[in-house]
Amino acid sequence: MQAVLSTQIATPLKSNALVQFDLDMDDAPASAREFSAHERTGLALGRDYALHGITPPIAHLYPQSPLQRGWLASRGRPVRTPASPHVERWLALRTHAWARGRSFEDIQLTPHHLAQLETQHCPISRELLDGESTSIDRVRDDAGYAAGNLAIMSRRANRAKGHRGYAALADMATSCAAGPITRIGGLAEAEWQRLAVLASFVTPLSHAEAALIPLHVLPPNRLRLFNPIQALQALVTRQLATPGWSARLSRLEALLPTDTLRTDFNRFLLALAPRVLAAAELQESHQIRWALEDAWSLPLVQKRWARFALQLTAEQAENLVERAAAKKLSPVHIQRHDDATDGWALATAGYAA
């Protein structure tokens, strides 16, 4: 039944009549009206909690909650395979996005995808991560939770990053370098530099600007790189982390179109390789990764990379990456995305429509 609140407002008319306005308050049962997109998402989320045998967070267990209604309606159904930690993280991330009104792309962003993001150390602070200190960051803040826009890092680094994009993060690193304060927001200059580089990967930049960014942090797994020259930069740098890199880089060099490019490529490698060879005794993969990243702090490495990279165009860099992948010259999987931001909700700044 609908409760009708009638309010009479006296309005001077020629007939001296009164105008009546009806203000209807809709308390019709949910089954009798259309669900909003927010409610539909909450109901589906509650259903998935039930189907995986997990009780939703207590904050959402109140009678008006669509999540609770979906959970209660599905509790009697057979439970699927007991939820893995990645399923639990997937449900928690969906709940977090739904409660904040953020977009969540649920076709590619699956528990399996989240499992591929796992890392033992924060790529920004390099601290060892555990359940309490780990968070999943939307690298690009004006996009939603979607495959290619997520990275695992420490909560401390995530809080410091906040809503900042590439330019603002680079400014923070510059501010730390200028002093006298060497830590801002709990992070030092090197950590702000890594955050800035991380954000640059998913920020469309001109070829010339992207070519001048030192690789202070290697791209986390499954992150999408928008700038082809950075993809080439990461591909070349990663080579030195696995045996047989010299032969692979020689084959990559042979793909370069001119003698000048091949010469400058070799000069760059002669600057980069010694720093990594000096750390040859390193056995842990994260230590080798850090040695590669730290090598990019050397001015000579940056200078020689810039000389080589600025001779290429973005199209040439992209072609080199694709040819290297086709010839299996990359130690990591490379996948091309023709629509890299599909499902990122950029039109709504990352919020659910």
For every residue of 268-326, DSSP letters joined together read HHHHHHHHHHTTTT--SHHHHHHHHHHHTTSHHHHHHHHHHHTTS-HHHHHHHHHHHHH
Mean pLDDT of the chain: 89
Residue 22 belongs to some domain of the structure: yes
> How distant, in Å, are the alpha carbons of 122, 132, 172, 198 from that of 286?
10, 21, 25, 17
What is the share, in percent, of the chain residues with pLDDT greater than 90?
74
**Which has the higher per-residue pLDDT, 3 or 241?**
241
Domain assignment of residue 87, yes or no? no
Domain assignment present for 258: yes
Instruction: Tell me: pLDDT of 89 over 80.
Output: yes
Q: Is residue 13 a part of any domain in this protein?
A: yes
Q: What are phi and psi of 15, to 5 degrees?
A: -90, 0
pLDDT tens-digit profile of 43-83?
Answer: 999 999 999 999 999 999 999 999 999 999 999 888 877 78
Average pLDDT on 192-208 reads 98
Instruction: Indicate if the pLDDT at residue 31 is higher than 60.
Output: no
Provide the pLDDT confidence category of residue 15 given band limits of 50, 70 and 90: very low
Q: Which residue has the tokens 């602070």?
A: 125
Number of domains in the chain: 2
pLDDT given at position 283: 76
Place 93 in a pLDDT band, splitting at 50, 70 and 90: very high
**Class of residue 314 by CB neighbours under 10 A (exposed 0-12, middle 13-18, buried 19+):** middle
* Per-residue pLDDT reduced to its tens digit, 201-241: 999 999 999 999 999 999 999 999 999 999 999 999 999 88
Q: How far apart are CA 273 and CA 287, in angstroms?
A: 15
Domain that holds residue 284: 228-335
- Residue 82 included in any domain: no
In a domain, 140, yes or no: no
Structural domain contains residue 163: no
Give the per-residue pLDDT at 334. 76
Model confidence over 130-170: pLDDT tens digits?
988 899 999 999 999 999 999 999 999 999 999 999 999 99
In this predicted structure, which of 11-25, 106-120, 148-162, 303-317 has the lowest mean pLDDT? Answer: 11-25
The answer as to whether 158 is a domain residue is no
Distance CA 286, CA 123 (A): 9
